[in-house]
A = this chain, B = another copy of it.
Amino acid sequence: MSDKETRHKERQEKLKQAVDTKIANAQTVKGLMIVITGNGKGKSTSGFGTVARGVGHGLKCAVAQFIKGNWECGERALLEKNGVEFHVMGTGFTWNTQDRIADTEAALAIWEKCEQMLQDESLDLVLLDELTYMITYDYVPLERVLTALRNRPFMQSVVVTGRAAHRELTEMADTVSEVRNVKHAFDSGVKALKGVDW
């Protein structure tokens, strides 16, 4: 074995020890709360990817989509066909509606569906897509969200996406990733692409 191969093997052996120790120490089994926040592309996409993974493993999954309008949605087409329950707020972006009172009503209506999902023992995985904005805009009271998340079934996992997640959400979460925008095609004049961007 050459020096290069030997060094590679040594480095990888050390890495393996570190990973094995971590795996041995990770013995708590429970449903996870995952928050995907930040200003970069890929938050909702990651949430829907988790649902696709769950469905592939035979988990029972449900999705609530806040903010987004009723336009054609690629992930919804595939996942609904594969048994995922969908609830869509359907008002469109806040800058299109420009109506705080109507948006609040729509948000609360879909939040009530979320509270039912977060009490449903048969659901393994719930995606609350773009929920963070509902708290930022004060459409849904923070305390109500925290209570429902805290009291959900022990083995139910939840993914919350959206920019600027409230500190109390990230503190409650088991896993938090921040998706940082390094650059975005849209800012260089590239049109959003069907099947890739939406």
Interface residues of A (CB under 8 A from B): 4-5, 8-9, 12-13, 15-16, 19, 22, 25-32, 34, 36, 38, 40-50, 52-59, 72-79, 82, 93-101, 124-125, 157, 170, 173-198
Contacts of A185 in B (CB 8 A): 32, 34, 174-175
Inter-chain contact B32/A193, CB cutoff 8 Å = yes
A14 to B, closest residue via Cβ: B95
Contact of A125 among B46, B59, B73, B195 (CB under 8 A): B195
Given B38, B181, B191, which contacts A27 in the complex, CB threshold below 8 Å? Answer: B191
Q: Which of B52, B180, B181 contacts A52 (CB 8 A)?
A: B52
Q: Knowing A53-B75, A177-B42, say if A95 contacts B186 (CB, 8 Å).
A: no
Cα distance, A146 to B146, chains bound together (Å): 46
**20 residue pairs bridging A and B, Cβ less than 8 Å apart:** A9-B99, A26-B189, A26-B192, A27-B191, A28-B189, A29-B191, A32-B185, A32-B190, A34-B196, A42-B46, A46-B46, A46-B49, A49-B49, A52-B75, A52-B78, A53-B196, A54-B196, A56-B74, A124-B195, A157-B193
Find chain B residues with CB under 8 A from A95 CB: 12-13, 15-16, 19
Contact of A177 among B97, B182, B198 (CB under 8 A): B182
Determine which of B22, B93, B194, B197 lies in contact with A186 in the assembled complex, contact meaning CB atoms within 8 Å. Answer: B22
